[in-house]
Structure 1
């Protein structure tokens, strides 16, 4: 079972006289399902006593919430190489290396980041479900956040839905971009014959997708570009850049086939992450420098040319 997570809150002057369920909803944004679980399992106390959710609270009252635990994932722990950038009782921020799948799939039943997290937490005497708030492709490196309990995951996922969660990527693309900045607003659809493949579409049924880009540096036959997402569709950056004639170097699905590529994966890195913390109620942000393989690629591009 997960170690039980507790939250404390002292009723403010603005909350004086409000019903307990109103304070819980406004302060913690609990879902209706979570509110029901808290009430039925008597997991909320006020000044040490269980009261009705319709009872009114007073300024200075001490509210204690004990979040219900749940079973951990049945994922075998394995020692996997990844970097922990930040961790607390609610979430963990990871700098994922390229070549690592986030969660077990039919094609990758083990050796994933999830296996590594189970091993990492077990060594610390912890047990959690692996709840990625965002996912990165196998060959995309960089920052991603994982919730350590259901409430943290739901809170952060809601931020994504409301577009408050900010993330930026760096990519090295083919050819010199003419514009210094711009926005790609093209819907994305799943290929009915190749479910793993996606493409931009103007037909009904496509999922809205918006990517903003800004040129960082130009090379003889390539460009380093910074990207900000408004939406988080699968393969969104890779598809959008390819659709405007600037596929990511090393992308074997949406890119240009190269006989002697300078990098063994798509040159895409999640470099910046900003979110509103579910417990601390402050903005937190992290940055990750370009990994060595992308730095080496850029060094070569500055002095060499690549075949279009």
Structure 2
């Protein structure tokens, strides 16, 4: 039973919860087991209850603004801050903080991501571009769609990458076995993904790389480096190596962003330093390598 429903792109946990809550019937009878053996022409009815509407709450959130004018904000996002509200976290995100400071136009029930042009993961640090109004958000979203916004990241990965530079071109789709993860997959719903990288520094068993995104898929850099067997250090989802610190997550930092201002049309470039925990890690590796 569960296997049949899973083929329709529901997760196993989601299916099990539906059954436990009496939301699945077979031939008009509520079922209580995920192991029911189905027969040809059995009629399965799934009742999925509508999710309650959420209203965004203004919350005092600490983050660093490195540039602001009437149309845009450039933020240096700290570690462990989610960008926008979603399941499990509706009140303690960057968006809630932006609303608290009245930095972006108020959201409505159909827009839970006011001002958000692009996102970075909760435990990825660094530069994030935010639009202060809907017009600027639309213009910047078009730039992003056309690959006109340049984003450069710094990552520390496991192993020694021998080549000085390279391009990882592999399509990304959501994992069939873990809905929190993405994976390299050629299936129909996969999306083209390209990451260019340059080696900045090599250590014993580690490599520091600079990455430029040509596309912006979910977890793109993390998935791509896992795929070439150089996962990002301390990545809780994609690294098979022992985690060094569960509190900081992957060593991945959005260092540079370049874009065209939505109103003035001037080229804008911003750069921010690595966070202390990242810089301290590099200093330790340099010391161990005798540099």
Distance in 1 (CA, whole Å) between partners of 2:208 and 2:272 is 16
Partner residue in 1 for 2:208: 224
Partner residue in 2 for 1:170: 154
Partner residue in 1 for 2:284: 300
Shift of the alpha carbon at 1:279?
0.6
Shift of the alpha carbon at 1:258?
1.1
Q: Is structure 2 residue 101 aligned with structure 1 residue 101? A: no
Shift of the alpha carbon at 1:261?
4.5
8 Å CA contact retained: 2:236, 2:243: no
8 Å CA contact retained: 2:80, 2:248: no
Distance in 2 (CA, whole Å) between partners of 1:93 and 1:105 is 22
Task: Summarize deviations over 1:32-81 as a string: whole Å, max 9, x none.
Answer: xxxxxxxxxxxxxxxxxxxxxxxxxxxxxxxxxxxxxxxxx942222111
Task: Summarize deviations over 1:177-229 as a string: whole Å, max 9, x none.
Answer: 11110000000011234222111123333110000000111111111100000
Distance in 2 (CA, whole Å) between partners of 1:77 and 1:189 is 33
Distance in 1 (CA, whole Å) between partners of 2:216 and 2:169 is 13
Q: Is structure 2 residue 71 aligned with structure 1 residue 87? A: no
SS of 2:102 mapped into structure 1:
helix
Shift of the alpha carbon at 1:260?
4.1
Distance in 1 (CA, whole Å) between partners of 2:245 and 2:102 is 38
Larger displacement relative to structure 2 (126-135 or 85-94): 126-135
Distance in 1 (CA, whole Å) between partners of 2:200 and 2:188 is 35
Shift of the alpha carbon at 1:263?
7.3
Q: Is structure 2 residue 159 aligned with structure 1 residue 208? A: no
Once the two structures are superposed, the pairs formed by residues 1-308 of structure 1 within 5 Å of their partners are: 74-121=55-102, 127-129=105-107, 130-258=114-242, 260-261=244-245, 264-304=248-288
Task: Summarize deviations over 1:75-115 as a string: whole Å, max 9, x none.
Answer: 22221110001111111111100100011112112211111
Shift of the alpha carbon at 1:127?
4.7
Distance in 2 (CA, whole Å) between partners of 1:156 and 1:261 is 35
8 Å CA contact retained: 2:167, 2:195: yes
Q: TM-score, normalised on structure 1? A: 0.71
Shift of the alpha carbon at 1:243?
0.5
Shift of the alpha carbon at 1:253?
0.3
SS of 2:101 mapped into structure 1:
helix
Unaligned runs of 5+ in 2: 1-53, 108-113
Distance in 1 (CA, whole Å) between partners of 2:105 and 2:199 is 43
Q: 1:269 to 1:259 in 2, by over 3 A?
A: closer
